[in-house]
Amino acid sequence: MRDLTPLEMPPVEIDDLRLKRMLTRELVRLMESGEASPPTELLRRVPRTWSGVDVASAPPQEVAPEEIYRSACRSVVAVGKLFLCPRCGKRHANIASGFVIAKSGLVVTSFHVVDDPDRLALGIMTLDGSVYPVQSVVCADRHSDLAVLQVPGDDLVPLPLADEPPVGAAIYVLSHPAGRLFTFTTGIVSRYLAHDRGQDEDEHAGGTTSPGESRFRLMAITADFGHGSSGAPILDVHGAVVGVARQTKSVYYQPENDTPRRLQMVLKHCVPSQALRDLGLRPAAG
C-alpha cells in the first residue's frame, strides 16, 4: 500500500451531519436529473449472467491497524437510499455500507440493502463527499446476500480480496453503524457456521422456508457493527477483504421470575469472502 498524501488523509473528526446533508442533497439532484434510479428499477435490469472481473489480491505484508483504517477510508462508501418522509414530507437518505472492489467503479454491498422497494433513488458517497449515482446492478445474489453495483467513477480506490482467515485471526470492520460514518472496530473471527435462510425468515418475518432449503456459510466475528453496517468490508491484517457484514443477532437471558430479560451478547454474522469469489470477483494470482 502506498503512503497517503496529506490531502488523502482521513479527517481527525468525521462530520456526520455535514456528510449526510451532502448525500441527501446530491441524491435529490441526481434523481431529479434522471441520473439516479430507484432500487426496484435497478434490480429489474440485473443481467442473467455476469462474466465477473479481476480484482486486486492481498499484499504479502501485514499492515498496522492505523494504516488499515487510513487506507480503507478511501475505499469504503456510504450507500444512500433516498426516501420521502411521511411525517415531514421532505426527502431524506438512509445510509448503509459498501466498498469499492474495482477501479472501474464496482462497489460491493448487501443484497438486502438494494432490495428496498420504497426508496426513490440509490447512490454512493465517498469520504470526501463525492456522490455517484448507481447506474446498474451488475450482479445480485439473494442467497448469499451480496450485490455488485456499477457507478460512473473510474478513479475510485479498490480494496484487495483475500482468502478467509482462520478462527482466532484478527479482523477489522469499517462501517456506518446508525449513521456514525467511518467507524472502525476490531476483533477476531469467532467461528464459521452453517445457516439456513429459513431461520431468519421464521424468526423475523414468519417465513416458511424449510431447513436445508437454502443453506449457506457465515463467518462470525467479535468486532462491533450495527444497523447501517450491512455491506461493510471485514478486513484482515493485510487490509484485504475477507468478508462482508450481514446481520446481528441479540442473545437474551430471560429469568424465570418477572424480571425483564437481559441482553447477554450480540452475535455478528458476515458473508465470507469465498462468496465474493463465487460471484465472479477473481483476485489476481501471486
pLDDT at position 259 is: 72
pLDDT at position 203 is: 40
In a domain, 65, yes or no: yes
Distances (CA, A) of 40 to 43, 92, 136, 200: 5, 18, 11, 22
pLDDT at position 214 is: 65
* Cα 30 to Cα 156: distance, rounded to the nearest angstrom: 19
**Tens digits of residue pLDDT in 149-185:** 999 988 899 999 999 999 999 999 999 999 999 999 9
pLDDT band at residue 286 under the 50/70/90 scheme: low
In the DSSP assignment, the letter for residue 163 is P
Q: Are 113 and 247 in contact (CB under 8 A)?
A: no
Same domain, 198 and 134: no
In a domain, 286, yes or no: no
Find all residues with CB under 8 Å of 35, minimum gap 6, and list them: 133
**Tens digits of residue pLDDT in 6-36:** 446 677 799 999 999 999 999 999 999 999 9
In a domain, 27, yes or no: yes
pLDDT at position 269 is: 97
Domain enclosing residue 45, as ranges: 6-50+60-150
Domain closes at, from 150, 180, 204: 150
**Tens digits of residue pLDDT in 230-270:** 999 999 999 999 999 999 999 988 777 767 788 899 999 99
In a domain, 182, yes or no: yes
In a domain, 80, yes or no: yes
In a domain, 78, yes or no: yes
- Per DSSP (E only), the strands in the chain are 53-55, 76-84, 91-102, 106-109, 121-125, 131-133, 136-141, 146-150, 170-175, 183-196, 215-221, 233-235, 241-253, 262-272, 281-283
Same domain, 198 and 238: yes
CATH number at residue 131: 2.40.10.10
Structural domains in the chain (count): 2
**Tens digits of residue pLDDT in 109-162:** 999 999 999 899 999 999 999 999 999 999 999 999 999 999 998 889 999 999
What's this model's pTM, rounded to 2 decimal places?
0.89
CA dihedral 55, 115, 127, 172 (to 10 degrees): -60
Q: Has residue 50 got a pLDDT over 60?
A: yes
As a whole number, the mean pLDDT across the chain is 89
pLDDT band at residue 44 under the 50/70/90 scheme: very high
